[in-house]
Amino acid sequence: MQRHRRFIAIGAVLAAVAAPLAASAATTSHRTNVTISFMEAMSSGTQKPTLDDLTQNFESTHPGITINLIAEPNYGVLQQKEEAAIAAGDPPTIGQAYENWAAAYASAKAIIPLDGYVNNKKVGVPKTFKSHIWKGVWNDLFLPDGKIWMWPFNKSDYVLFYNANMLKAAGLSVPTTWAQYAAAEKKVTTGGSWGESLDTGTLSAPANGTLEYLAIVKAFGGTWIKNGKPTLDTKAAVQALQFLDDLKTHGALQVGTNYPEQTALGAGRSAFAVSSIAGYPYMLAAVGGKFNMQVAPLPAGPNGGEGNAMAGTNTVIFTKASAAQRAAAWQFMKYLSSPHATAYWAIKTGYLPVTKSALVYMKKYIATHPYQKIAAEALQYAGGNPPYAWWTQAEGYVAEAMQAVLDNGASPASALATAQQKAMAAASS
């Protein structure tokens, strides 16, 4: 019943976009009924009902297309299930995938390139649509072969959450460079409070802290990869890890597991939390109105270097799908990235709209949630996972290096040298 009411409500919101989409659907996939399946990990919080809403809306404007959502609890299980399904020759029609997964799928010929759809005169997207997709997001759709293999869906990047009351009490303004940030963290660190908590992640599951570090590497002028090879032990990388290690030594940085940044900020103990913007609803619940929580862009590097890490996935079409399914899948993927749909998705879940065209539909929301615009604009320079299958391992080795340094007293240079050596081995095998 409740679901029905919500559905009517979004029906109204999406009314404008429904008509033209329905028209295009009529020309492309009429006559036959086609069912497509979508394997995804949007199973928690507001993500599930929102995706249900969007799917229902799509189905009602595209008669003849039925979408089966196959929800997995997290990306780890999703990846495993996609692998199992591909191995058994029984993949879904489409699935969420990170860039590095897509690289593995593509080299196994398990997914298809999308250029034929994207650039198609009839069913493709117009030039303006392409140019309105955030640059970082757009670059992220390609594999090294120069083809488009993915289409954007749930994108987020990293922002700085802060406890405004605590900053005010300490007489601090919001840091705009990492140097200021370090000074601020040290200043708020007293007996019962500290700068930030982070999760380094593990070899098999990197976490927000891993991405925070990688963002700092970029801001310090470093790279993650170069010419298709990992570059984990650059000077900037060592500096960035040294930077975090100094904070740890000062007691300004604490390490934890399972979203410790939300716990620490929410409890009013840490002044900052670097986290994915998609964690906003959880962050808000943790704070629960105890103090004034605000969001700022990530600080910049020493030479004004902007660095951010993109999180969230794209969608891919699996090779096994029939021509009719592929066509319907493309319609659905295009729909999810359409300004109205991506705006609705962003408003409900805290993810970011994948195109700047969506911002006009979010005016009211942005007025009350100004950080959404900040974060969305940061998608221009945010780096997604490098599109190589071995990046999964390389990122794991980064997490390991962080554990070695932050928890076990290894030196940043030696820990990163080890990570680089292992990553090189993975990249060349």
Partner 1 sequence: MSVNGTLTARALGISRSRRHSRKGIRNGRLAMLYLSPALLVFLVFTIGPAIFVLYISFFNWNLLNPSQSHFVGGGNYTALVHSSDFWNSIVTSVYFVGATVGGSTVLGLGIALLLSRRGIVRRIVRLAVLTPYFTPLVATSIVWVWIFNPQFGLVDSLLRLLHLPEVGWLQSTTWAMPALIVYTLWHDLGFTVIIFLAGLATVSGELREAARVDGANYWHEVRDVVIPQLVNTTLFVVVITTIDSLQAFTQIYTMTGGGPLSATTTTGFLLYQQSFVFYKTGFGAAIAVVLFVVIALFTLLQLRLSRRAA
Partner 2 sequence: MRRVTRLRTGLLALLVGVVFAFPFYWVVVTSLNTSNRVYQFPPNFLPGGVVGNYSTAWHEATWVRYFLNTALIAGSTVALVLLTSLLAGYALGVMRFRGREICFFLILSILMIPKVVLLIPDYIVLKELHWLNTYRAQIIPWGASVFGIFLLRQFFSSLPPELIEAAELDGASQMQFLRTIAAPLARPALITIGLYIFIGSWNSFLWPFIMTSSPSVQPIEVGLSTFFGTNGTDWPGLSAAVVFTTLPIMLVFMLSQRRLVAGASATTGAMKG
Interacting residues with partner 2 (CB under 8 A): 2, 37, 41-45, 47-48, 68, 70, 72-75, 77, 80-81, 83-85, 87-90, 192, 258-259, 262-263, 266-269, 276, 278-279, 281-283, 285-290, 350
The residue to which tokens 């601020």 are assigned: 184
| Interface with partner 1, residue 264, by CB under 8 A | yes
Which of 29, 37, 57, 79 is the binder for partner 1 (CB under 8 A)? 79
Binding piece for partner 1, criterion CB under 8 A, among 172-180, 229-237, 257-265, 373-381: 257-265
Mind giving me the DSSP string for 263-313?
A: HHHHTT-BSEEEEEGGGHHHHHHHHTTSS-EEEEEPPB-TTS---EEEEEE
Partner that binds at residue 404, options partner 1, partner 2, none, CB closer than 5 to 8 Å by kind: partner 1
Partner that binds at residue 104, options partner 1, partner 2, none, CB closer than 5 to 8 Å by kind: partner 1
| Nearer to partner 1 (CB atom), residue 104 or residue 252 | 104
Which of 293, 188, 198 has the alpha carbon at shortest distance from 243?
Answer: 198
Counting Cβ atoms within 10 Å, is residue 23 exposed (0-12), middle (13-18) or buried (19+)? exposed
Number of residues in contact with partner 1, rule: CB under 8 A? 40
Partner that binds at residue 400, options partner 2, partner 1, none, CB closer than 5 to 8 Å by kind: partner 1
The residue to which tokens 């995938």 are assigned: 97
310's CB contacts (< 8 A; 6+ apart) are 136, 137, 140, 155, 156, 157, 379, 382, 383, 384
CA gap 388, 107 in Å, rounded: 10
Q: How far is the CB of 94 from partner 2 (least distance, A)?
A: 14
| Nearer to partner 2 (CB atom), residue 81 or residue 187 | 81
Which of 140, 123, 195, 173 has the alpha carbon at shortest distance from 379?
Answer: 140
Q: How far is the CB of 208 from partner 2 (least distance, A)?
A: 9
Q: How far is the CB of 80 from partner 1 (least distance, A)?
A: 5
CA gap 379, 156 in Å, rounded: 8
Partner that binds at residue 102, options partner 2, partner 1, none, CB closer than 5 to 8 Å by kind: none
Integer angstrom CA distances of residue 405 from 112, 197, 249, 421? 41, 15, 11, 17
Residues 232-251 within binding reach of partner 1 (CB under 8 A): none
What CA dihedral angle connects 87, 92, 97 and 103, to 10 degrees?
40
| Interface with partner 1, residue 78, by CB under 8 A | no
Query: Using alpha carbons only, how large is the chain's radius of gyration in Å?
Result: 22
Binding piece for partner 1, criterion CB under 8 A, among 63-71, 75-83, 327-335, 354-362: 75-83
| Interface with partner 1, residue 163, by CB under 8 A | no
Q: How far is the CB of 273 from partner 2 (least distance, A)?
A: 11
Q: How far is the CB of 200 from partner 1 (least distance, A)?
A: 8
- Say how many C-beta atoms besides its own lie within 10 A of residue 27's C-beta: 9
Residues 361-420 within binding reach of partner 1 (CB under 8 A): 389, 392-393, 396, 399-400, 403-404, 407-408
- Report the largest interatomic distance among the alpha carbons of the chain, rounded to a whole angstrom: 69
